[in-house]
Amino acid sequence: MDLKLDSKNKLLRKLLLFYKHRDLTIEQAVQKLRDDLNIKYSHISEKTFESYIIPKVLEEYNITKEVWDSKIRKREIVFLSQMLMYAISEEEFGGYKSLSTVGRIVRNKDHATVLHAKKTVSNLLTADKVVVKQYEELKHFLLKLIINCKKRKI
């Protein structure tokens, strides 16, 4: 996934026009959208993640379901699954506290794998600007999917 700055600016402009506020940052506009849509991230079910969100993420990253479900350990597959585990355990994208639940949602991994993934991503986010950018892009994509789920009542 490659969100270009131009597309982020278009999104920001649309949000700003929608709310008729010219002084909002993108984070404030997105938060306003969340508030207005009454999105409760903690109510995103495992089933929604498994049946809608994960398949859309795989499609976005050009990963087949067969490869995702396999025991393959290619760096890009492992890294994406680690970032998803980290994101799903954050409050805004599900807030799942159970490592077992997060593991079940993402490639059916055990709690130790999830713990390692969260630690790895957390360390990378503090040390690597490229990872921060990749994670921000994933978060924006997940947000769009979650808003779509709530609108369509998936």
Task: Please write the tens of the pLDDT for every residue from 17-47.
Answer: 665 555 666 667 667 766 665 554 446 788 8
pTM for the structure as a whole: 0.72
Q: How many CA atoms lie within 13 A of 17 on its CB side?
A: 6
> In CATH, what is the architecture of 42-152?
Orthogonal Bundle (1.10)
Burial of 53 (0-12, 13-18, 19+ CB in 10 A): buried
Give me the pLDDT at residue 153, please: 74
| Structural domain boundaries in the chain | 1-38, 42-152
